[in-house]
Amino acid sequence: MTRLLALLVLLSLPAAAVGGRSTHNLNDPELTFEHVWRSIDRNYGQFAVKNVDWAMLYRIYRPQVTPKTTDEELWDVLVTMLGTLNDAHVALSDGKRRICGGSTEALTHARDFSLDLVKARYLHGKSSSSRGGTFTSGWLTDRIGYLHMADLKGGNEPTAQAIDAFIGEFASATALVIDARDNPGGDNQNDGIVASRFADRRRQCMQSQTRYGPKHSDLLPTEYRDVEPNGPIQFTRPVVLLTHRHTASGPEGLTLAMRVLPHVTVVGDLTCGALSAQFPERLPNGWTLWVAFKVTRDHEGTCWDGVGIPPDLRVLNTPAEIAAGTDRQLEFALRLLERGAPAPQDESVSLAHLRTSLVREYARGARGQGVEAAVAALKRARAASSATCFFGVDEAMQLATQYLGRRQYREAIGLLEACREECPRLAATYAMLAQARLGTGDVAKAEAALAQAAKVEPMYPWEPAQIERAKSALRKAKLGSAATIFGRALADGGIAAADKTLQELQARRDTGPVFDETDFTALGYQLLQAGKIESAVYVFDKAVRLYPDSWNAHDSLGEALLKAGRKEEAIQHYRKSVELNPRNQGAKKILDGLAG
């Protein structure tokens, strides 16, 4: 983080929180405390749910931090303050350790579960693994199958392939045990993919709200999530889902989806209670803060964050039992399924208030009928304000991001215009609208979108950067890109012409074509991929001279130099990259290899 940005962060704090201190020292413990308190104050989603007086906590903990506070003392103060939120998705890391604020933090990790024990004692025959070894399956009896999921991270397609293969292999089973114990999290789409293979019909399983606005009560309208059949086949015979206190995050989304299915019984202990989405933010002193910015509830409106989702049947393992070779939770699940399958549970509540996502309908319409028809249908549906439909702003922004990535600018514009009307204070909407308008070549409307952005207050830490990127793109659309002109001179006239052109461009840097580091980096990699290694080295060298404090520029030059066979020079730039960014693990690994 630059000193200027650190100054801007502090200037945005309430007057009571500033205290008149200088911001020039980024390791200033008071600056870091203020940043943490302010970030939670602006973005944390569950103040109202948990009835937290955050200003009062400021008065308690702020006096404990002075200019002489050591890093360890600051760490203890921040961890203690964040722990009052009882939220495992609020966390602090200093690069060596990561402490979460949830009630499960003090629990000994997974001593009440052992996958090795399950495989050695309970699975008949040889177990098999899939999805990179994270899915372990086998037969518990001749008729009851078993699947343990170590995590739900990674790509959606590998997850779909793995769960479909499992369902296919165990299609003849009379019952299944799905084990989500010791599963620390994953992609929130993966839990839906897994749950859809067990769904009997469409059911509501979850609802959420996103914090956006200066007041703690500023939450966007509720969004709803369903579980419904998907994939080639579904397993709808009796299922036991095993959970415990280290079933966390993504698997808790799976638990909410599975527990509304009549043929599924949840057995074990409460889950971790970490359901809200989170984002990381770099602190002035280099530490990282994770902020939970949503409120997630089950289909009946209960928030289990900080508490844990309760099982249908609570059965506990003890570390001593596991050490002695007994998994009481799994044995209970087996007895439950062997001695007469549980009767289907009444899950009629999950059918009572089903709502259709207008964002998903828009996506279907854009694919099937075209953008204009999809936009018209969305406008009609939003105007009707039916209780059976909802427009999810967060869901829409995620889809619009995908559209922009695929350069489907018209699709993005139709959705973003609806977001702008639904939530006019959302700053990222205008930045994305400007990008989409530029993609269609409409500079005037892009400029108008950014003019609107100037009238709203960005809330998330990444939004100012989004707006600045959009402004840079607008300037490039008007004035051109310095890197593009420089690259053209290099291609047409070689290094001498490129040097001359770059000098001319720098002479009018304030008024002429836009200098953007990412453009120079992209040019260098285009040359590198084309096999023009020396030209790539030349471009990356210029990028380093233009942006000497950029760890990425030094990293890219190191890569090109290494491909050019200039090992010692490459080492120098990789070292500089690590010096500028100690978290550059890729450069560290390369340096270790070069040293060996």
Does 396 lie in the same domain as 503? no
On whether the CB atoms of residues 204 and 376 are closer than 8 A, the answer is no
Predicted local distance difference test score (pLDDT) of residue 408 = 98
Q: What is the pLDDT of residue 155?
A: 92
Residue 2 has a pLDDT of 32
Residue 311: inside a domain: yes
463 and 393 in one domain? yes
φ, ψ of residue 583 in degrees (nearest 5): -90, 5
**pLDDT beneath 50: ranges in the chain:** 1-24
pLDDT at 89 (0 to 100): 95
The CATH number of whichever domain residue 432 belongs to comes to 1.25.40
For residue 333, CA distances in Å to 243, 460, 509 come to 11, 44, 70
Find the radius of gyration of the CA atoms of the chain: 27
Are residues 440 and 485 located together in one domain of the fold?
no
Shared-domain flag, residues 510 and 569: yes
Taking alpha carbons only, the member of 57, 46, 53, 59 closest to residue 80 is 57
Q: Which of 474, 505, 538 is the last residue of a domain?
A: 474
Tokens linked to 201: 């019909």
- Which of these three, 64, 98, 132, is where a domain ends? 98
With contact defined as beta carbons under 8 Å apart, do 195 and 203 qualify? no
33, with CB counted inside 10 A (0-12, 13-18, 19+), is buried
* Domain at 346, CATH number: 3.90.226.10
CATH of the domain at 509: 1.25.40.10
Q: Same domain, yes or no, for 427 and 488?
A: no
Residue 43 within a domain: yes
**In-domain check, residue 282:** no
Angle between helix axes 533-546 and 482-507 (nearest 10 degrees) is 50
- Please report, for residues 26, 179, 505, 511, the alpha-carbon distance to residue 115 in angstroms, rounded to integers and kept in the order given: 45, 10, 62, 64
Element of type H or E holding 471 = helix 463-479
For residues 240 and 322, membership in a common domain is answered with yes
Same domain for 564 and 470, yes or no, is no
Q: Are residues 385 and 528 in the same domain?
A: no
Distance CA 596, CA 591 (A): 9
Residue 106: the pLDDT is: 57
Instruction: Classify each residue of 472-497 as buried b or exposed e, where b means 16 or more C-beta atoms within 10 Å of its C-beta.
Output: bbbebbeeebbbbbbbebbeeeeeee
pLDDT at 25: 63
- Would residue 152 count as lying in a domain? yes
Cα(355)–Cα(223) distance, rounded to whole angstroms?
9
Measure the CA–CA gap between 74 and 94, rounded to whole angstroms. 11
Task: Report the first-to-last Cα separation within the chain, whole angstroms.
Answer: 33
**What gap in Å lies between CA 406 and CA 400, rounded to an integer?**
10
Cβ atoms of residues 124 and 140 within 8 Å: yes
Round to whole Å and give the CA distance between 580 and 589.
Answer: 16
Contact 148, 179 (CB under 8 A): yes
Would residue 107 count as lying in a domain?
Answer: no
The answer to whether residue 285 is domain-embedded is no
**Residue 502 confidence (pLDDT):** 96
Domain count across the chain: 4
**CA pair distance 326, 8, nearest whole angstrom:** 57
Q: Are residues 345 and 376 in the same domain?
A: no
In a domain, 465, yes or no: yes
**Under 8 Å between Cβ of 180 and 152:** no
Quick one: DSSP state of residue 207? E
Q: Residue 199 has which token pair?
A: 């769904």
Contacts of 37 (CB under 8 A, 6+ apart): 17, 54, 58, 61, 62, 81
Does 543 share its domain with 573?
yes
Q: Are residues 11 and 73 in the same domain?
A: yes
Beta strands at 356-357 and 223-227: parallel, antiparallel or unpaired: unpaired
In a domain, 316, yes or no: yes
Name the domain boundary from 435, 459, 474. Answer: 474
pLDDT, tens digit, 9 for 90 and up, residues 302-312: 999 999 999 99
Q: Is residue 213 located within the same domain as residue 313?
A: yes
Which domain does 240 fall in, by range?
115-277+293-351
pLDDT at residue 126, rounded to an integer: 84
> What CA dihedral angle connects 363, 366, 372 and 377, to 10 degrees?
-50
Q: What is the dihedral of CA 14, 17, 23, 25, to 10 degrees?
A: -150
- Report the SS3 class of residue 412: helix
Q: Is 243 helix (H, G, I), strand (E, B) or coil?
A: strand
Rounded (5°) CA angle 233-239-240: 145
